[in-house]
Amino acid sequence: MKNKIQIFIASLFALGLTAIAGNVKAQTTSGNTIQEVQLNKNDAFNEIRNLLMANFDFTNPDYKQGVVNSEVKFDIAENGKIVNVRSKGDCKNVSKEIENVLSHLMYKIDANKLNENMLASSFVMPVRVDINNR
């Protein structure tokens, strides 16, 4: 009985060491890191943000008053068109309007404006809208 308890404790100890070693290795491997992409004024996302605000309908009375924070996810098709727009945020009506505007933009992203860190097909962009009193 004493041997079985010692074997069980030794097994738990060995499994624990294996788990810790695997976790440390995963944290130090360069392939598992997510790098932050800094946006600058000349990139394609600034243009998208400006087009979004220019085409946004601020007159809807169902919008929440004040600052509304949203997060919009979208894909870029091979031809540069914005597709599969999904938005979520503080106000579902603002999120729907963001989706509507971005889905119907007659805009294609110029691949030359995307730097090497931004070569992906799916993106997440924060959007902050200030709805003033009407």
What would the two tokens of residue 39 be?
């946006």
Is this model's pTM higher than 0.75 or not? no
Share of the chain above pLDDT 70, in %: 60
Residue 78 and residue 123 in contact, taking contact as beta carbons nearer than 8 Å: no
Q: What is the per-residue pLDDT across 49-99, written as a single tens digit (0 to 9) for each? A: 888 889 998 888 888 888 899 999 988 887 778 889 999 999 999 999 999
C-alpha span between 26 and 24 (Å, rounded): 5
Q: Which residues of 105-117 are buried (b: 16+ CB within 10 A; e: fewer)?
A: eebebeeeebeee
* pLDDT above 90 (res 100): yes
What is the per-residue pLDDT for 26? 47
Q: Which residue has the higher pLDDT, 19 or 79?
A: 79
